[in-house]
Structure formats: structure tokens, C-alpha cells
Structure 1
């Protein structure tokens, strides 16, 4: 498989996995948790969702049906500062924002071709290749999703349901994975 095609396949898989991780955390939030920050200048889950959605729409909505030269990854109507203001959105409204933002991003990357990766794309007038813009967003979105996980884990305390291998369970997990691998080998 050519490298560019492999990259796009991996990007699509990993970003959908990141979305799933974020959803696993958000499903554990109580109604009163959405607007709770861990520090005075910290972001609540609601603010993180607002910002991610705003960024995804700004950067990727114009590319939902495929690459178009001349697009800037900062839409003229975006009010980034407002994304960081605590509003009184309900959990269903925040889920709607989350899903709409991810839909814009995932639709855009699903429409990218290997040839698009070397094409130009600007973000706030700064030149990137599409590949660089994708990598920029992988780092950005991962950072915020892991903030969301840390925030939720802290708020849930002992009620937190792990989204990965549970503490003390690595050996059992690895044994199960190796056993599964052995069962899948051709005989």
C-alpha cells in the first residue's frame, strides 16, 4: 500500500478512535459535571466541546466534499474566544455540538485522496500542506480529548470506568491478546 494511502487509512481509524475515547468520558459525566472546571482558569467539559466543535467546523467544514484550493482553515465567521466562554448549554446540546464538529472533520478527511496530502492549505494565512494541517489537528484534538478524559476521571473519582486496560490487568489483557493472535493464525 502506498505510504499516503496508508497514512490516510491510519488517520481515519485513529481519529475515530479518539472520538470514541472522548465519548466514553462524556458518557460518564453527570448533569452537574459538564460545566465544572478543575481550576479557576480551567476548561469545563462544555467549553472543551464548544472549542473542539468550533475548531473542526472552522478548519474542515469547507472541505467536507473534498479538497478545494484556496480554502483557509479559519472561517471568517468563527468567534474562537466565544468557544471558551462558559454557556448554559445542556448535555443534549453539547452532544449535538460534539457530533456536528466531528462530522465536519471526519467527512473532510474521508474525502481526502493521497494526492491531496501535498497540496497547499492555509490556516489563519499560514501555509501548510494538507498533511501538515492534518498532523496539526491530530495533536490539537488529542490534547483536548485527553483533557476531557482527565477532567472526567477526576470528577468521577472512584466511580470512573476505565476506557483502557484497567490497573492491575495488563498481564491478563496481554495474555488474551496473544491467545487471540494464536487462534487467528492459519493452521
Structure 2
């Protein structure tokens, strides 16, 4: 079981770092005046998504940043979740710093988790979860918001969007390049 847990932790750490990179690829394409534009009324702007992600990451993972702590609560008493969804006036540099800080808390916590920690208990809003369940809950949550961010920026950029994946019509060339890379590595 320990081998599976170690494999899981290795995979989730790498995957979440990849999700962060995707989000950064989208954020890097925003113009300063676009950070606070939602696609629809009552929708989330990039600024709101970044603020919410960072707030959630601090609340859920701040107590585990130094390692598993018995009785850890994943909803800090001082958090004002509703305020995370109120459009502010933060500059792009402030929002990027908030993004980096939130991800640092989450990734630092992931990095110190051990296989044995995955079956231990923590609570989120008083509800008991295994650490594994809490990680999975946040993997889905954070990935969902990052993909919202990607859609938002892609829509705002229109024809100027720079893909974060294989470009349309580029699959065959990508596959050839991957095969050549594998052959060269052998």
C-alpha cells in the first residue's frame, strides 16, 4: 500500500504543478485592463478567481504546510469566503503575488505529506475527511477554477490567444516529434 500512496503523492504533486503552469499561461496573456472583466454579469473575473483560489489554498492547507497536524481544520476562522467573490481593484502585480503565495501554501503542504498521512483525518468546515479525500477534493476544485480561468482568458483574447496545448491541426506533427524524441533518448 505504501508504494501506491507514494506513487499517488508523486503524481498529484506533478499534476498540480502542471495545473498551476496552465493557469500562469492564461494569466500571462491578460492585459492589465482585463483582469477585472467577467464574461457575464455575476460571473467571475480573473482577479476574483485568483483571489478565491488563494483564499481557499491558505484556508485548506495553511495548517498542513509544516506537515500533518492532528485536528487540523481546513477552514480558518478568519477567512471571509464571500469577500473573495467581490470584485476589487488590485493591480495585476498584486494578483500575481496572491496567486504565487496561495500555490506556495498548497504545494508546500503537498510536498511534506507522507504516505501514512493520506489515511489520517482532518476536517473542512467541521466535516471529517481523510487527507487523501481532502487532496482529491482540492484537485478537482483547483483544476476546475483554472480551466474557468483558461476559458475566460481565451474568450477575451479571441484570435490573439496562444494555445497552452497542442494547436488545432497539430496533433500529427506533435506525435512525430514525441516519437523522434523517444527514439533519440534510446
User: Shorter-chain TM-score: what band?
Assistant: over 0.9
Aligned partners of 2:71 and 2:159: how far apart in 1? 50
Match of 2:106 in 1: 105
SS of alignment partner, residue 127 of structure 1: strand
* CA apart distance, 1:154: 0.2
Aligned partners of 2:63 and 2:132: how far apart in 1? 17
Aligned partners of 1:132 and 1:49: how far apart in 2? 23
Unpaired runs of 5+ in structure 1? none
Q: Give the TM-score normalised by the residue count of structure 1.
A: 0.98
Match of 2:179 in 1: 178
Which residues of 2 match residues 161-172 of structure 1 at below 5 A?
A: 161-172=162-173
* CA apart distance, 1:162: 0.5
Aligned partners of 1:100 and 1:62: how far apart in 2? 15
Match of 1:120 in 2: 121
Unpaired runs of 5+ in structure 2? none
* CA apart distance, 1:62: 1.1
Aligned partners of 1:180 and 1:20: how far apart in 2? 22
Q: Deviating runs (4+, > 3 A) in structure 1?
A: none
RMSD: 0.8
Which residues of 2 match residues 73-88 of structure 1 at below 5 A?
A: 73-88=74-89
* CA apart distance, 1:178: 1.2
* CA apart distance, 1:184: 1.8
Q: Give the TM-score normalised by the residue count of structure 2.
A: 0.98
Structure ranking higher in helix proportion: 2
Instruction: Count residues with an aligned counterpart.
Output: 185
